[in-house]
Structure 1
């Protein structure tokens, strides 16, 4: 699952996003309700779709790489446009942009449910991502604008608690809807929630702005180039296993993505109000924390994308059971978040940011152990618990380190950048890990078919089906014994790829721990760096 719960920096975005506006006290509970329900739409959608992917793949006859696009098209636009989405609210009205995002998200959700083929679904998911990029930062800014600083902490706690509950029930709800109704309900569930949010916005949420009320300062070129850069690189990695690296479209996407990345850096160095102030990366703790975020959240988002597919398509779990499989992860983070928040005060930032990713690496390694037919409690549960504990030790100190690396005047920008880095890391990792999975799957499937002495007709048929990975269909007319042998070969091939991916995730987590050891200082949480306000 590309994004489990809240990404780093969300609470900091609320705390530092803007100054409180003149909001009547009677409207504040309504504002909080709108923010909770609105952001819950994005949280739920970011997790339940992975649980629904096997059903979507089977119903729409999609390849595994098209299934990747169902997730990536949404995550790509959310990651690329998240920072500019917040700026739009400051310039044109937070309530207006938030409501526009909710409406766009709802319309795109309806289009997802009505999609007749996988291409239509991918397009609708891209529009959903644009809507999410408007509503996610908008929900946070509404709370900051409505509550004065002395009351903002309680609002943060309420929002954070509700988000934790959403993160827990979202995948289970999605799995239940898939098992008992249809995958389309994973999208239709957004419509009544959007209707409630829009009604609250219309009746009870006051308008607010931050800074200039014009378009001056919006980094639209930066947003466009970030989208093109991510999109080009992601397209190349997703399509290369089927088209080949020398295919004109793949080469054009790869070169275009690199060119857009260079252009993005050039624009951010010159534009007056960049969406990514590159000067911040020269601050030691901030640069180190974001490198850690890039590596660790690439492992988390990329690796856990394949976890529900393994559980449902290989291990035979129901969608509901697959959705519940990560509940221990979420509950550990929720229960221990307060304790983890004190680690920087006691030990400084360096130690927890080395130990936490190290524990997470052990969790990823444990995911590589189970084979076909593995039981949850003895095989996957230990991996989920260890990974959850490792991320718990990491996330709160990571957010604190990011905030303490800069002055209060730059805290909102810093937390927003770190939030966007975590999302972009997952987008890139899902695409790259797809190449690893495809190569390992193809090699192991070829070996497995030779080992069972599969008929040439079956081998030729599965060569055509290999792009569907574990969702591959079996050839018609084979007897039960041959069908069982072929299915086991397919499942073993997917497990082989899954193991490669999880070991790669463990390596990335270890690299993130190394980056913390080398780049993050030993300063205590209440220390202030000389770079403040820079």
Structure 2
């Protein structure tokens, strides 16, 4: 192997570390959330926004930066993104309030949106033939593995030091990535790339922001009638109808406007944010639908399980990380399995097996979760779930992009990544709402059955839900009998179960979506395609 070929594989290592940076950050926070709740006194709605501020901006800007990377240079965009991500991580680590942390997470989302699509584009432009399949497998396995290792790393840092180090760890990793990418990764760009569709970009941000806002804030402001009037400065929402239906309407109209505008520009031969022509490719169209729905289901248990383990079972962050390590083990085993069967089993078949394993793992967790569940019972289901994630993630990416021309890899990978991230954002919003809404309803009913006065009942329910479960430990002191705390633990466990079952339901829909996937194989060219120049 000559030096240039060897350096190309070293480049893949640093590209994978860049992926690890943004994936670990999105999972490491889950384990740290209980400590953040205690120190910054954030509410359950803010808990969701700590995740959503990052994921929402991430999803909304992926397409924009995927296109810009094609035009101005993919390596350059990767380096800028890593730098922004590292600097905003410092701000997050030093955040004095929940609002400051959420603001820092918004900026992190911008950096992350620069990194993810460029990693895919660089791989697509750098590797050919069988090597491309291996590179995609490494990329996908990194996502699966790091999504699971993140909680262990976060648990260790939170328990041994502080939750703030869950963000501070990003800085040394960013330095390693920048140095390695400058040394081992060649620049590439599309010489024919055109200007970004600014109106399309604005419409995509409005659509995704309105949808996620409605899903998260519905239980706060009321789904139909106003329960709590939102206030901005001196202005207060004046109508009896909640703002949530209006937000859903804005999201629907924004989606229609985005598609209409994009198709209009395409007919005129002008650049579009989404390459609508790519959706004529069966593997690309069906794969993106499957990716969105599967991602929606995948992130359910990662949001709720750390809260349940720490606030109901009584684990600390490190113990929680060790339990979730079973996910990482499953994912790493899956990467070896996928490599062994590469070329002998159709990628689509591996995707379906992976999603089926995820369904079994998540649904199994739903059946065994209870206030007195022993941690050992969780491990087999977490392993199976991680095994499924490891299989599905790498192979689904390859199937989605298999027929996409390299010259359009930026838009193709950006669309695919956006589908995943939008699914993740919707997953956190929907499954978080399921967790906290069902917990509130079940706890209220249990307290009613015991004859607790309505005012006291509402106070207990609000304390438990608003603290994302953090107030449960204090209920033992407030009620010497321990019955109120027992009711709260049972209700939060039920909420976690319903979150898991909902995730399994969405994964089942994702499995059904893969039935229309073909094996789509682009004829690989050994020569560098026109429009991709290595500097």
Question: Normalising by structure 2, what TM-score?
Answer: 0.82
Preserved contact between residue 469 and residue 494 of structure 1 (Cα < 8 Å):
no
The counterpart of 1:208, out of the listed 187, 193, 211, is 187
Structure 1 pair 492/429, CA: closer, same or farther in 2 (3 Å)? same
> Aligned to 1:325, what secondary structure does the other structure show?
helix
Shift of 1:146: 6.8
Map residues 327-346 of structure 1 onto 2, 5 A cutoff. Answer: 327-340=325-338, 346=344
**CA distance in 1: counterparts of 2:57 and 2:179, whole angstroms:** 26
- 1:110·1:191 contact (CA, 8 Å) conserved in 2? yes
Q: Deviations over 1:40-65 (max 9, x none)?
A: 32122111011111111121111111
Q: Measured at CA, do residues 316 and 190 of structure 1 come closer, stay the same or move farther in structure 2, by a change above 3 Å?
A: same
The 1:463–1:88 alpha-carbon spacing in structure 2 relative to 1, beyond 3 Å, is same
Residue of structure 2 in register with 1:226 after alignment = 204
Q: 1:421, 1:511 → 2: CA distance? A: 15
Q: Is the 8 A contact 1:143 1:155 kept in 2?
A: yes
Residues 144 and 393 in structure 2, CA contact (< 8 A), matched pair in contact too: no
Q: Look up the match of 2:250.
A: 256
Residue equivalent to 2:373 = 374
- Does residue 185 (structure 1) correspond to residue 165 (structure 2)? The answer is yes
Bigger Cα displacement from structure 2, 419-428 vs 245-254: 245-254
Within-5 A mapping of 1:467-506 = 467-472=466-471, 481-482=480-481, 484-506=482-504
Alignment of 1:130-209 (within 5 A): 130-141=110-121, 166-199=146-179, 204=183, 208-209=187-188
Which sections of structure 2, spanning at least 5 residues, go unmatched?
Answer: 227-241, 525-535
Aligned pair partner of 1:443 in 441, 444, 448: 441
| Residue number in structure 2 paired with 1:242 | 220
Contact 1:31 1:146 in 2 (8 A): no
Q: Report the secondary structure of 1:208's partner residue.
A: coil
Structure 2: distance between partners of 1:254 and 1:387:
32
Given the alignment of the two structures, is residue 520 of structure 1 paired with residue 517 of structure 2, yes or no? yes
CA distance in 2, matches of 1:66, 1:297: 22
In structure 1, what is the Cα distance between the partners aligned to 2:101 and 2:356? 38
More displaced 10-residue stretch of structure 1: 40-49 or 322-331: 322-331
Aligned partners of 1:238 and 1:432 also within 8 Å: yes
* Residues in 2 aligned to 1:288 and 1:148: alpha-carbon distance in whole angstroms: 24
502-511 or 217-226: bigger deviation: 217-226
Moved more, 291-300 or 406-415: 406-415
Query: Structure 1 pair 399/291, CA: closer, same or farther in 2 (3 Å)?
Result: same
Per the alignment, do residues 339 and 30 of structure 1 end up closer, same or farther by CA in structure 2, a change over 3 Å counting?
closer
* Alignment match, 1:43: 23
* Displacement of 1:177: 0.9
Equivalent pairs, count: 500
C-alpha separation in 1, matches of 2:122 and 2:415 = 19
Paired residues of 1:225 and 1:264 also in contact (CA < 8 A): yes
Q: Work out whether residues 31 and 142 of structure 1, in 8 Å CA contact, stay in contact via their aligned partners in 2.
A: no
Name the CA distance, whole Å, in 2 between partners of 1:209 and 1:96. 9
Tell whether the 8 Å contact from 1:345 to 1:526 is kept in structure 2 after alignment: no
Specify whether residues 314 and 93 from structure 1 end up closer, same or farther in structure 2 by C-alpha distance, changes over 3 A only: same
8 Å Cα contact 2:42-2:98 kept in structure 1: yes
Cα deviation code 1:137-183 (max 9, x no counterpart):
33454566677889777776776676666445432111111112111
Question: How many Å separate the matches in 2 of 1:308 and 1:385?
Answer: 16
The residue number in structure 1 matching 2:233 is none
Question: Are the counterparts in 2 of residues 242 and 467 from structure 1 also a CA contact under 8 Å?
Answer: no
Counterpart position of 2:230: none
Q: What is the deviation of 1:234?
A: 0.6
Compared with structure 1, are the counterparts of its residues 350 and 196 closer, same or farther at alpha carbon in structure 2 (3 Å cutoff)? Answer: closer
Shift of 1:355: 4.5
Match of 2:34 among 49, 54, 70: 54
| SS of corresponding position for 1:186 | helix
CA distance in 1, matches of 2:51, 2:124: 30
TM-score, length-normalised on structure 1? 0.82
Question: 1:32: how far off?
Answer: 4.8
Q: CA deviation at 1:208?
A: 2.9
Q: What is the CA–CA distance in structure 1 between the aligned matches of 2:215 and 2:16, rounded to whole Å?
A: 35
| Counterpart secondary structure, 1:373 | coil
Work out whether residues 349 and 401 of structure 1, in 8 Å CA contact, stay in contact via their aligned partners in 2.
Answer: yes
Contact 2:362/2:504, CA 8 A, preserved across alignment:
yes
Q: Shift of residue 375 of structure 1?
A: 1.0
